[in-house]
Every structure is written in structure tokens, then in C-alpha cells.
Structure 1
Amino acid sequence: MRMRYKPWATKELDACPFFIRHPEQYLGKWHSLFPRSQPVELELGCGKGLFLAALAPANPQVNYIGVDLKDTVLGPAKRNLEAAYREAGREPDNIILTAMNIERIADSMGPEDTVQRIYINFCNPWPKKKHHKRRLTHPRQLENYKKILVPGGEIAFKTDDDDLFADTLEYLAESGFVVTEKTYDLRALNRPDDIPTEHELMFVERGIKIKALWAKLA
């Protein structure tokens, strides 16, 4: 989904205490950006931030990092997060937003920047075979994630795309991950910890079943 240009986003993000402008400058230093030393979870492709806005204020015992490609997206994410923290009566002290090309995440995050869990929600399926290497669940990317996941760390993945889901199951096995749970109809599970994303609600309204899996690094 293409986001419209937000002329206000750059100025607001530059003034935002939880936005990082040049993530490559923090290679090996992400943990130091949080006031409390505690587990870190990472969302790749956080979009408008609605998933993290529901998750981060409710879990102060976890630090969160939200990544997307451009300020165009992260401007609304910043506003949504601020609103969620105000409603929770808390300061946004366990959240960081940053813009980066996720295909080059290794330039900005390394083995010192350990995370417990990586969320990948409704990423671009890149259906053409020649573009498969650009998928966020492709083995080329999974090898990068393995460098920052703690032993036994987890990937949580959701998609509406059948082919991407089937291929991702193969990618994970190829890269040494063990799928601990999977479903071809997430809504039927009624998981109490599930937080619907903007895309998820849109697809459900259209009658499209959501595929999801949870995989651990062996």
C-alpha cells in the first residue's frame, strides 16, 4: 500500500525523542538507547505503527524497535504511538522508530543488538520469481536475522498470501528455524495475544483468511 507524502513528517520526526535518523550509526549500540536494560523485540515493516501502538504501551517490561523504509510511513506511526502512550498514561520510553532498507539490516544491526522476537506482518509477497530474494522471509534475509536473534529467539509472521506462506515454511526449514505453530486461519485460533494489524483487518473484511506462524531459531 503506497503512502501519500507527508510534508510534516520530517520535521516532526527530527523533533521526536524516540526516532533515530541514521540507524547505521548505532550498529552494536541499540540496547544503550533505551533507559532500561530488558528484552528487545523488533517489528520489520511497522507501517503506521498500529501494531506497536497496541503492544508497546501495554508491555513496559519489553523494549521495542519499529522499522520501515521511509519517513512517509513513520510520521503517522510516531503520532499513533504518542496517542497510545498518552492514553496509557505513560511516556514512550520503551519504543524506538527508525527508517532503513530492511534488505540491508546488517549495516545497522549486529550481534550485539540482540532481539528476542522479530515480527513480520504482511510484508510485500514479491510474487515474481526473479524478485523472491527481496522477500523479508527469504533465506538471504533469515541469515541476517539469525545474527541478532538470541538463541531460541522467535520469528512471528503473518500474511494473506498463500504462496508466500508456503514458501516461507520452506525458507525457515532451510535456514535452521523450527516452526512451533502455524495456522491457515488465524482468526479461528482466537489467540488472546494476537494484535490485528491494519492490513489484517482489511483482509478479514474481504473474507481472506490470515496465515500465521511462529518459528524458533534452533
Structure 2
Amino acid sequence: MRQRHKPWADEFLQENTHLIIPDPSNYKNKWHEVFENNNPIHVEIGTGKGQFIAGMAKQFPSINFIGIELAKSVIVSAAEKVQESEHANIRLINENAENLLDMFMTDEISTIYLNFSDPWPKNRHEKRRLTFHSFLKRYENVLKPDGELILKTDNRGLFEYSLVSFSNYGMTLQEVSLDLHALNDPENIMTEYEEKFSAKGQQIYRCKAVFPNQK
């Protein structure tokens, strides 16, 4: 979906460096200094307009959340939502997830969320999928040995591809749900896309997986 250009986005980013962290590579292995505590760190890749991360921060105040979003026009919307929530356990990063290893140290993250990622359905775009093996290698590096990778999507093709990709990488599937909302999980926080798709009767898929216990 094409996002409307926001000409004020650059100025907003410059004025809110306390929330949208510039030069995140400067904080590699120092994120606990940013949050001023030693709580676990969870990362959402593709944070969108911020509904999920704001909801999670409210529900789990003893966890630090970092949202990564590449599109400036989207991350400023997320920042506005985070500001409204007034939760101190959220920071945002305006970066490409390909640079994950520049932002986080080995074993620095406890959980990574992939919510409604672009499915990139054409075969020639396979390497862009966030569950392609090159991305999995990055996640494995920054996640703690028992850290979880949690995927939610409405796209069955991406979900099936991801399950195969996880299995081929040697990951252990801890949960595979073909109809997430049928579980009535009280801890499930919906994204904007999730609300939209589920209202239309579309199934939501979720998978929780862990990497082999080795580095």
C-alpha cells in the first residue's frame, strides 16, 4: 500500500530523537542505557503505524520494545501513537532491517516480531522476504539462545513459505496456528492490518519458532 508523503516527516524525526533513535548503531549493546533498565528487549520489524507496539508496551511494562520501520511517512505515525500512549518502554528506529547486525549485539534481543510483512510473492523477490534464510541468520545472531521469532500474517502463501524456511534452517516450531483468533489468546495485540483483515473474515496465521541452541 502506497503511503501518503508527509513533508514534515524529516523535521519530526529531528525533533523527536528521544523516541526515534538516530544512528542506532551507536547503541549496539547499549540499549539498556537508553531505557535505563535491564529489562528484556523485544523488537518488531516493520512496526507500521504503531498500534501493536504501543499495545504491547502497555500490556507488558517490564519489557522494552523497539520498533523498526523503514518508511518515514509511516514511522512518524507510529511515533505519534507512541507519544499518545505515554509509555516509556518504547523506542523506534527508522532503518532497514537488513542492517540489524549493525544495531544489535549477539544475544541482545529476547523476541522478534514479524507482523504482516510484505509477502513479496514473485519468485525473483524471494530474497526480500523477511523469513528468507539470510534474514533468519541475522535474527539468530541477535536473539538470545532461547529467544523467539513470532510471525503473524494473513497471507497463506507467505506463511507456508516461512514454515518451510524455518524448518530448513533447523528451527523448532513451538506454535503453528491456522486461525489465530479462534484461540482467543488474551495476550494477542492486533495490528492495524490485523483488525482490517479479520473484520473481513480473513484467517490470521501465527507461528512461534526458536533457533537451534547453538551459535
TM-score when normalising by structure 2: 0.93
Please state if 1:137 is matched with 2:138.
Answer: no
Contact kept in structure 1, 2:54 and 2:90, CA below 8 Å: no
Please state if 1:71 is matched with 2:80.
Answer: no
- 2-structure distance, mates of 1:46, 1:36: 23
Contact kept in structure 1, 2:40 and 2:63, CA below 8 Å: yes
Q: For this pair of structures, how many residues does the alignment match?
A: 211
Matched residue type, 1:10: D
Give 2:93's aligned residue. Answer: 98
Give 1:57's aligned residue. Answer: 58
- 2-structure distance, mates of 1:118, 1:156: 6
Please state if 1:19 is matched with 2:13.
Answer: no
* Higher deviation after alignment, 37-46 or 21-30: 21-30
Task: Give aligned-pair identity as a percent.
Answer: 37
Matched residue type, 1:13: L
* Superposed displacement of residue 104, structure 1: 2.7
* Superposed displacement of residue 172, structure 1: 0.9
Which ranges of structure 2 fall in alignment gaps of 5 or more residues? Answer: none
Matched residue type, 1:117: T
Matched residue type, 1:9: A
Per-residue deviation, residues 119-168 of structure 1 (Å, max 9, x unmatched):
10000001011111110111110000001100110011111111111110
Give 1:176's aligned residue. Answer: 170
- 1-structure distance, mates of 2:190, 2:162: 20
Which ranges of structure 1 fall in alignment gaps of 5 or more residues? Answer: 86-91
State the Cα RMSD in Å.
Answer: 1.4
Give 1:82's aligned residue. Answer: 83
- 2-structure distance, mates of 1:24, 1:143: 19
* Superposed displacement of residue 39, structure 1: 0.4
Name the SS of the counterpart of 2:59 in structure 1: coil
Per-residue deviation, residues 97-128 of structure 1 (Å, max 9, x unmatched):
0111112322322316x111001000000101
- 2-structure distance, mates of 1:18, 1:62: 16
TM-score when normalising by structure 1: 0.91
- 2-structure distance, mates of 1:189, 1:179: 17
* Higher deviation after alignment, 198-207 or 38-47: 198-207
Contact kept in structure 2, 1:120 and 1:157, CA below 8 Å: yes
